[in-house]
Amino acid sequence: MLKQIPQTDLDYVEFYASKMKEDNNLFEQQKNLIESQMKSSRAVFRNLFSDGDFKLNARSYLRKIGLIK
């Protein structure tokens, strides 16, 4: 039997959601991955902007790279 290949982003979301329903371990893996990424991001930004006012330094950096005005 041939598996249907997702064609759009929504198809991928639906496919992943159906797989997560079948195997709850996928949810736990995804949760762990997201938590790990959040911890890493926090550490990077903490190290990047630890000198002085964190919010001021972070906003200055985000303006510099064009993410905020």
Q: Round to whole Å and give the CA distance between 59 and 27.
A: 34
Q: Is the pTM of this model over 0.85?
A: no
The pLDDT of residue 37: 96
6 pLDDT band, cuts 50/70/90, is low
| Tens-digit pLDDT profile for residues 19-66 | 888 888 888 888 999 999 999 998 988 888 888 888 898 899 999 999
The pLDDT of residue 3: 65
Distance (Å) of CA 28 to CA 6, 10, 15: 23, 22, 17
